């Protein structure tokens, strides 16, 4: 029989499964049985470029497609080199924060490749 995890709140090992949750009868705390990420862990995993290479803060990337900027007439051209990217958290599906000659933008990593 697999061992049940200790309660994350009171750290006592007197826990039991109840439906989709674990329950601690000592303090009454309930938490999901599915492995949940610890504080500070990235849920989605590393941000990857169009070729599957992981990106990091400060990387230089090249655009692989012309990108029209919504709400303006600006077009970021294919082959544009962008230096010093920053990976952003909680910005929806736009993972990369960057600055270009046309201004600062939030872009999707799928439209760039690591230089």
The 10s digit of each residue's pLDDT in 41-96 is 445 578 899 999 999 999 999 999 999 998 999 999 999 999 999 998 766 788 89
What is the distance between the terminal CA atoms of the chain, rounded to a whole angstrom? 50
The rounded mean pLDDT for the chain is 85
pLDDT at residue 89 in the model: 76
pLDDT at residue 6 in the model: 85
Question: Would 99 be classed as within a structural domain?
Answer: yes
pLDDT at residue 107 in the model: 92
Q: How confident is the model at residue 26 (pLDDT cuts 50, 70, 90)?
A: confident
> Which is nearest to 114 in space by CA: 70, 65, 55?
55
Question: Would 25 be classed as within a structural domain?
Answer: yes
Q: What is the mean pLDDT of residues 22-37?
A: 79
The CATH code of the domain that includes 110 is 2.30.30.40
C-alpha–C-alpha distance, residues 110 and 55, integer Å: 11
Task: Tell me the residue range of the domain where 1 lies.
Answer: 1-36
pLDDT at residue 11 in the model: 82
pLDDT at residue 30 in the model: 86
Give the number of domains in the chain.
2
Q: Mind spelling out the 3-state secondary structure of 4-67? A: CCCCCCCCCCCCEEECCEEECCCCCCEEECCCCCCCCCCCCCCCECCCCCECCCCCCEEECCCE
The CATH code of the domain that includes 28 is 2.20.25.10
């Amino acid at each position: 029989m697999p061992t049940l995890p200790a309660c994350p709140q009171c750290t006592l090992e007197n826990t039991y499964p109840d439906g989709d949750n674990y329950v601690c009868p000592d303090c009454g705390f309930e938490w999901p049985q599915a492995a949940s990420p610890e504080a500070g862990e990235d849920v989605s995993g590393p941000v990857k470029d169009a070729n599957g290479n992981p990106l990091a803060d400060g990387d230089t990337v090249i655009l692989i497609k012309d990108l029209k900027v919504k709400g303006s007439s600006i077009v970021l051209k294919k082959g544009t080199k962008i230096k010093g990217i920053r990976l952003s958290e909680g910005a929806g599906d736009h993972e990369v924060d960057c600055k270009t000659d046309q201004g600062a933008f939030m872009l999707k990593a799928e439209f760039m490749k690591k230089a």
